[in-house]
Amino acid sequence: MAGILGGQPSPQHPSECLEPAVLLVDDQPANLLALRAILADLGLNLVEARSGEEALDRVPATEFAVILLDVNMPGLDGFETARLIRKRDESRRTPIIFLTAFDSERAQVEQAYSLGAVDYLVKPLLPVIVRAKVIGFVDLFEKTQQVRRQAELIRKMERKEFEKKLDEENARLREQREWLRTTLASIGDAVIATDREGRVAFLNPVAENLTGWRADDAVGQPLERVFPIINEYTRRPVENPVAKVLREGVIVGLANHTILVSREGREIPIDDSAAPIRTPDGEIAGVVMVFRDVSEARRAAEIRHHLAAIVESSDDAIIGETLDGIILSWNAAAERLYGYTAAEIVGQPLSILVPPDHPDEVPALMERLKRGERVEHFETVRVRKDGGRLTVSLTLSPIKDGGGRIVGASKIARDITDAKRHEVELRFLAGASAALAELQDVPTTLQKVAALAVPHFADWCVVDVLGPDGRLERVAVAHADSAKGEVARELSRRYPPDPSAPRGVWNVLRTGTAELVPEVTDAMLVEFAKDEAHLRLIRELGVGSYLGVPLAMRGKTIGVITFLSAKAGHRYSLNDLRLAEDLARRAGIAIENSRLYADLREADRRKDEFLALLGHELRNPLTPILNALQILELRGDEPAAVRRARAMIGRQTTQLTRLVDDLLDASRIARGKVRLAVERLDLGALVRTTVGDHWIEAESAGLTGEIDVPPGPVWVKGDLARLAQVITNLWNNAIKFTPAGGRVSIRLEVDGAEAVLSVSDTGIGIEPAVIPSLFQAFHQVGAAPARTKGGLGLGLAVVKGLVELHGGRVEAQSAGSDRGTTFTVRVPLDRSGSSLEQSHDRKRTRTGKGQRVVIVEDGADAADSLRELLELKGFEVAVARTGPDGVALCRRMQPEAIVCDIGLPEMTGFEVARTLRADPATAGSVLIAVSGYAQEDDRRQAQEAGFDALLAKPAEIEELTRLLTNPRVES
């Protein structure tokens, strides 16, 4: 630059050659060829050098108009070469244009300038620019040569003659200098030149703009004033480069982070270099300083660094790749995700990461990228360095160069294996819960659960449930691969789960705790296998991971859900275990619900059938009663017809009463409402009396009766009436189910601490399967219609309930259909001693001989029937129809007991009770309420009013009798 500014040619080496010479230095022949091609038609002498050394050899021989010097060369690099060229006098001022790579560091450019480069060209070369620059320097060179030639001319010609020419020439030179100045002024960088005192001599417009000084004002000012610079961080003034250049005569570059403070106070980060201006004889005439605003570049660099840091610190893998699928960049997250280091994988094809079963994926993605499409959240599977598979979500974007050409792709990969898994789990659990909520039967429910587990959660899912016989039942099987399903089936058929195995289904069942084997090894299989064939089969199954969880219902393990994962599949973790346990818990609840639901449905069905049967049984006796009434009407004058009709009505009414009694008993037993009037009694005597009463029924059915009771008393504690009911029911039951010609027998014996009563027949018998449900109320419903025998099937339920209330038990044995039946009742013996109160005489304990009873009841029918019944029992009875009448009657009669309706006119039963209790004449009477309402609340109210007991209407006569004679049994 100094040469240009000075405008003084230095005629050291007159060139022999007429064409201006240009030295091209590059180690690559191809680059040389390119340069030559670009410059070929400019009429230049193009001299080539393949290295710095060769260039140095060329320099002394020829005076070059310009040197194009490659920076990156083996051996002597461009900078070193330039430095050496500059050292030589003959080439001290030869302009050098550096050739630099496209992506050269800024530092390189700085260095180039500091070495006095006039310019630099970026590879790949743009011919227009190369030519323009070279032409510029060649022109300059030619001008210089011309000046030199003219000087020689002057010497050769008459001075005078040529003075004018010289003047002209000088004028032209001035003009040229002006042109150079203009050029300088037009340069994109700021330029300031100073004189040797460091005062500003020249300021181009860019420099004016940056410093805020107009050239007119600045010229003559000390540089420090026009160009004050500080360090960005310390904020301290930085030594002005000009001073250093003037002092040391060297080219000085500015340190980084230098800030120019403009005249108006604006701070501009700059980058500059200052070089001495030397006169042709080498003296320093001033300094030229070239600087530029680097804020843009700085910002760009900062952004670049920032972006790079973002990429590097990203949690997502960010990968750069070519359109051919070659990996170009690889961040730390990619390293973590895939297990490869950047060094290992950059330059490798992407296919390394792709599982073999996705061969077409990468080409298809690349096709889309080449079309300029962006691919977002593409979910697929990739392979890690260690062979593990992961589910990733990929987002790919094409990368375009400055010209908009797609040159590659950036890819962001996110590991969604866990998220995916979680999603699968949630879906599985949600699906299972929905399926479980459907209240279907248990096998259907479990089959649904198993089916839902496959294939996302397991490759096989098996549900085993403990059957009633203590054996495992495989209730549900689901598998992803039907061929493997076949193997699994064969396995379970040939090698059912071994109860003694330390691991597996039975262990889960035994312990109620889950088993988790994340990695099933071959060694485990070998240990597990029973024999070679077994081992072969389980190897064939290819189980990779195993999870077994207990299926529990009300805290009891009832089965096991087994999940198996194939070798290449998922490895179960504690997380999966928790999920499976959660599922099993839900399944357990569902099974329980399902069973409850089935029970409810069954109970509901039985109730419906029972109601139908009840209707049938109640209707049946009504028909002959109605017929008999009609007969009475038509033939009331015929004694025989009347007798028949009456007998018919009597029989059928008895039957109806029995049905209703059975129904009420069964219902009361079921609700736990039966209270026993317990006394010490001789069961032997009771059996004899009761069977004696019903002997005739066996005979009229054409049966032989047998009775076998020990001669001495068999003491038990019990309710005489209820035990008599048990005996009657069993006896009648035996008669009912034994065809004519058969035999019914009853036997009582003492076995240890128990009295054992057995009733046997030779009748139709019972299928063993039916026996467990025999004692359930309404059981007869399920039997074939022809087997029903005019009854509600409640008798045995009543027997069971009553026997159990006595602390005993009842069971049935039958050898099967038509092989007869034996019912056995066991009740504890009473060994308490005293035989004085052997009061098993029903009549004595149950009658109210001589007792006076007042009935307060407004319903005439109810009052009359109750009066008749009580009179039959030996009571002396009086009736009042209203509360006040009742109270008056009681005061007059002072009865032992009073039976009072609650819903009375004028005065409620409660009021009657309170009045009677308040009167000393009646306060001691037994007071029994009868009411259509007998809920807990009604009872409490009755008690509060002073009643001893409350009976539901219609009051059962036996119960009433018992209460009237012994009310304190009631609590």
Partner 1 sequence: MDGLNRPRVLCVDDNRDIADSEAELLRIVGFDARVSYDGPTALALAREFLPDVCLLDFNMPAMDGDELAVRLRRQSPGRRILFIALTAMGDSESRHRTNAAGFHIHLTKPVDPDALLRIVRELWSGLSADSCRSKS
What whole-number distance in Å separates Cα of residue 65 and Cα of residue 134? 9
Residue 699 CB, nearest approach to partner 1 (Å): 17
Specify whether the CB–CB gap between 394 and 375 falls below 8 A.
yes
- With a CB cutoff of 8 Å and minimum separation 6, the contacts of 586 are 429, 432, 433, 436
Residue placing its CB nearer to partner 1 in the complex, 195 or 609: 609
User: How big is the CA angle at 43 (ends 38 and 47), to the nearest 5 degrees?
Assistant: 70
- Read off the tokens for 346: 């950059």
Q: Using alpha carbons only, how large is the chain's radius of gyration in Å?
A: 60
Residue 740 CB, nearest approach to partner 1 (Å): 12
Residue 746 CB, nearest approach to partner 1 (Å): 24
Given CA atoms 345, 351, 357, 358 in this order, what sign does their dihedral have? Answer: positive
Residue 949 CB, nearest approach to partner 1 (Å): 37
Specify whether the CB–CB gap between 794 and 665 falls below 8 A.
yes
For partner 1, the binding residues in 648-707 under the rule CB under 8 A are 648, 651-652
Residue placing its CB nearer to partner 1 in the complex, 108 or 738: 738
Residue 737 CB, nearest approach to partner 1 (Å): 11
For partner 1, the binding residues in 600-659 under the rule CB under 8 A are 612, 615-617, 619-631, 634-635, 641, 644-645, 648, 651-652
Site for partner 1 contains 783 (CB under 8 A): no
Residue 612 CB, nearest approach to partner 1 (Å): 7
Q: Nearest-CA neighbor of 194 among 212, 155, 174, 221?
A: 221
Number of residues that bind partner 1 (CB under 8 A): 31
Q: Is 387 helix (H, G, I), strand (E, B) or coil?
A: coil
For partner 1, the binding residues in 790-829 under the rule CB under 8 A are 790
Residue placing its CB nearer to partner 1 in the complex, 151 or 641: 641
Specify whether the CB–CB gap between 830 and 678 falls below 8 A.
no
Residue placing its CB nearer to partner 1 in the complex, 529 or 618: 618
Compose the 82-121 pattern: x for residues touching partner 1 by CB under 8 A, - for all others.
----------------------------------------
Residue placing its CB nearer to partner 1 in the complex, 533 or 629: 629
Residue placing its CB nearer to partner 1 in the complex, 353 or 631: 631
Q: Nearest-CA neighbor of 24 among 56, 70, 90, 71?
A: 70
Residue placing its CB nearer to partner 1 in the complex, 13 or 635: 635
Backbone angles phi, psi at 503, to 5 degrees: -130, 165
What whole-number distance in Å separates Cα of residue 23 and Cα of residue 14? 16
Residue 765 CB, nearest approach to partner 1 (Å): 15
- The size of the chain, in residues, is 971
Residue placing its CB nearer to partner 1 in the complex, 654 or 966: 654
Specify whether the CB–CB gap between 565 and 544 falls below 8 A.
yes
Residue placing its CB nearer to partner 1 in the complex, 282 or 741: 741
For partner 1, the binding residues in 49-68 under the rule CB under 8 A are none
For partner 1, the binding residues in 857-916 under the rule CB under 8 A are none
Amino acid identity for residue 84 in this structure:
L
User: Which runs of E-coded beta strand occur in 721-778?
Assistant: 743-751, 754-761
Q: Which of 244, 694, 789, 914 binds partner 1 (CB under 8 A)?
A: 789
Residue placing its CB nearer to partner 1 in the complex, 733 or 851: 733
Strands 21-25 and 64-70: parallel
Residue 739 CB, nearest approach to partner 1 (Å): 10
Residue 623 CB, nearest approach to partner 1 (Å): 4
Q: Which of 88, 174, 787, 849 binds partner 1 (CB under 8 A)?
A: 787
Backbone angles phi, psi at 307, to 5 degrees: -60, -40
CA torsion angle 143 146 148 150 (round to 10):
-140
Residue 457 CB, nearest approach to partner 1 (Å): 47
Say how far residue 941 (Cα) sits from the centre of its chain: 56
Residue placing its CB nearer to partner 1 in the complex, 625 or 681: 625
For partner 1, the binding residues in 179-238 under the rule CB under 8 A are none
**Exposure string over 391-426, b if 16+ CB within 10 A, otherwise e:** bbbbbbbbbeeeeeeeebbbbbbbbbbeebbeebbe
Residue 705 CB, nearest approach to partner 1 (Å): 22
Question: Which residues are near partner 1 by CB under 8 A?
Answer: 612, 615-617, 619-631, 634-635, 641, 644-645, 648, 651-652, 785-790
